[in-house]
Amino acid sequence: VSVGLVPTMGALHDGHRALLRAARAEHDRVIMSLFVNPTQFGEAADFETYPRDVERDLAIAESEGVDEVYMPTVEEMYPDGFQTTVTVGDLAARFEGAHRPGHFDGVATVVAKLFNRTRPDTAYFGEKDAQQLAVIRRMTADLDLGVEIRAVATVREPDGLAISSRNVRLRPDERRRAASLHRAMVARDPSLVDADLDYLAVVDPETFHEIPERPGAIVVVAARFGDTRLIDTIPVERS
Ligand code: PAF
Quick one: which atom of ligand 1 is closest to the CA of 126? 1
CB 72 within 8 A of CB 35: yes
How far, in Å, is the centroid of ligand 1 from the Cα of 209?
A: 23
113: nearest Cα among 142, 59, 76 = 76
User: Given a cut of 90, is residue 238 above it in pLDDT?
Assistant: no
Q: Over the stretch 216-234, which tens digit does the pLDDT of each residue have?
A: 999 999 999 999 999 999 9
Which residue owns the Cα nearest ligand 1 atom 2? 8
pLDDT over 80 at 239, yes or no: no
CA of 238 to the centre of ligand 1 (A): 30
pLDDT score, position 45:
84
Atom of ligand 1 nearest to the CA of 8: 8
Q: What is the DSSP letter of 187?
A: H
Reported confidence tier of residue 46, pLDDT bands at 50, 70, 90: confident
Q: How far apart are CA 138 and CA 202, in angstroms?
A: 20
- Average pLDDT over every residue of 3-13: 98
- The answer, yes or no, to whether residue 38 has pLDDT greater than 80, is yes
pLDDT for 44: 86
Ligand 1 centroid – CA 189 distance (Å): 29
Catalytic site includes residue 99: no
71-129 pLDDT, tens digit each = 999 999 999 999 999 999 999 999 999 999 999 999 999 999 999 999 999 999 999 99
State the closest ligand 1 atom to the C-alpha of 40, by its place in the atom list counted from 1: 10
Q: Is the pTM of this model over 0.85?
A: yes
Residue type, 92: A
CA distances from 19 to 64, 209, 217 (A): 10, 27, 23
